[in-house]
């Protein structure tokens, strides 16, 4: 079933920006294409380049609607008006853009103008002092308990090849906390059951890392490779670990669809998909005594502050300290009132 979110994403991919002048060497389009080429040469991921293209294109069309056809004619007050436009903009469902989305789009626009000034397409950078929205630091909406995670893991029908594959996928997510795009790109050689490691190649930021994988997850992966993966292989076998019915690696969005179905089928009263297991792994390991820097290395976070969000979610130890030290933490039996004598 095609969800509204998936339909909106498809509509967005099909959208063609109505640029009025695509050949002016000093216009938005030509300079934007040069900027995107610069990002590719510098090694930015395709996803980042697409995000930059979307953000700058949307701003360029907004400027053209106001008869501003060249980046050199953009001023700081114009950028601030566009920022207010984003603040009041509504998504198709009527909800506003999140501050994170606003920050994301404006960051790409600032990067574009910084490049224009550095390459001498502009005498000065009008976006240099544009103040970006403060991004909210939100806790994960749902975090699975160990019992809830096990309930979801038990959902695939392991008597069937697809069910065995999906059980191995869920076990890998839960054990390693890797991202869905990282799992999609795994090869059969990336899981070393003997050493108990999994190698993530070209993860977020195009960084490689090696993370531990538990014996149970490694055993499920080995069972899938031995008993089910041959049913999905189409020659030539390119060596991807988790395959779809057509022999291609399972796409990240398809992984989310599969996992969310198992979450719903489990009866767990929480929503989400692949990232649920990433949150669960980090939180449960912290609650069981893991050092936050070890979690940072496993998750592949560049900054420790990104990982520290899980210290606010891992409440078990904090609750134990609160119970042991707060004078009013426990519900104690109330002393009986003395009996009144007549």
Instruction: Give the catalytic positions in this structure.
Output: 179, 204, 275, 278, 301, 310
∠ CA 231-233-236, nearest 5°, is: 155
Q: What gap in Å lies between CA 45 and CA 244, rounded to an integer? A: 24
In sequence order, the β-bridge partners of residue 328 are none
Q: Is the dihedral of CA 118, 109, 182, 315 positive or negative?
A: positive
Question: In angstroms, rounded to a whole number, what is the distance separating the alpha carbons of residues 22 and 203?
Answer: 35
What's the CA gap between 164 and 52, in Å, rounded?
39
The Cα–Cα gap between 216 and 107 comes to 42
What are the DSSP E strand ranges found in the chain? 191-192, 197-200, 209-212
Angstrom distance (rounded) from CA 287 to CA 310: 10
- Of 6, 1, 58, the C-alpha closest to 28 is 58
How far apart CA 173 and CA 182 sit, in angstroms, is 10
């Amino acid at each position: 079933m095609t969800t509204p979110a998936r339909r909106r994403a498809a509509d967005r991919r099909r959208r063609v920006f109505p640029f009025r002048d695509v050949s002016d060497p000093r216009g938005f389009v030509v300079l934007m294409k040069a900027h995107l080429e610069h990002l590719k040469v510098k090694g930015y991921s395709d996803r980042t380049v697409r995000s930059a293209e979307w953000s700058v294109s949307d701003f360029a069309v907004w400027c053209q609607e106001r008869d501003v056809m060249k980046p050199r004619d953009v001023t700081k007050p114009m950028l601030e008006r566009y920022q207010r436009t984003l603040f009041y903009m509504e998504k198709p469902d009527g909800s506003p853009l999140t501050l994170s989305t606003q920050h994301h789009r404006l960051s790409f626009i600032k990067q574009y103008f910084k490049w224009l000034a550095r390459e001498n397409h502009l005498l000065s950078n009008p976006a240099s002092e544009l103040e970006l929205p403060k991004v909210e630091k939100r806790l994960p909406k749902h975090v699975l308990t160990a019992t809830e995670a096990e309930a979801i893991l038990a959902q695939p029908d392991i008597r069937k090849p697809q069910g065995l594959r999906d059980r191995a996928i869920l076990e890998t997510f839960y054990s390693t906390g890797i991202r869905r795009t990282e799992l999609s790109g795994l090869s059969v050689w990336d899981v070393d059951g003997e050493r108990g490691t999994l190698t993530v190649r070209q993860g977020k930021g195009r960084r490689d890392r090696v993370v531990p994988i538990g014996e149970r997850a490694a055993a499920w992966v080995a069972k899938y490779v031995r008993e089910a993966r041959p049913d999905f292989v189409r020659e030539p076998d390119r060596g991807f670990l988790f395959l779809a019915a057509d022999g291609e690696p399972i796409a990240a969005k398809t992984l989310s669809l599969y996992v969310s179905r198992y979450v719903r089928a489990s009866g767990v009263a929480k929503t989400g998909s692949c990232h649920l297991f990433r949150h669960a792994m980090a939180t449960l390991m912290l609650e069981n005594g893991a050092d936050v820097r070890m979690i940072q290395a496993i998750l592949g976070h560049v900054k420790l502050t990104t990982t520290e969000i899980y210290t606010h979610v891992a409440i078990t130890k904090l609750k134990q300290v609160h119970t042991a030290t707060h004078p009013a933490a426990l519900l104690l039996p109330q002393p009986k009132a003395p009996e009144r004598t007549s």
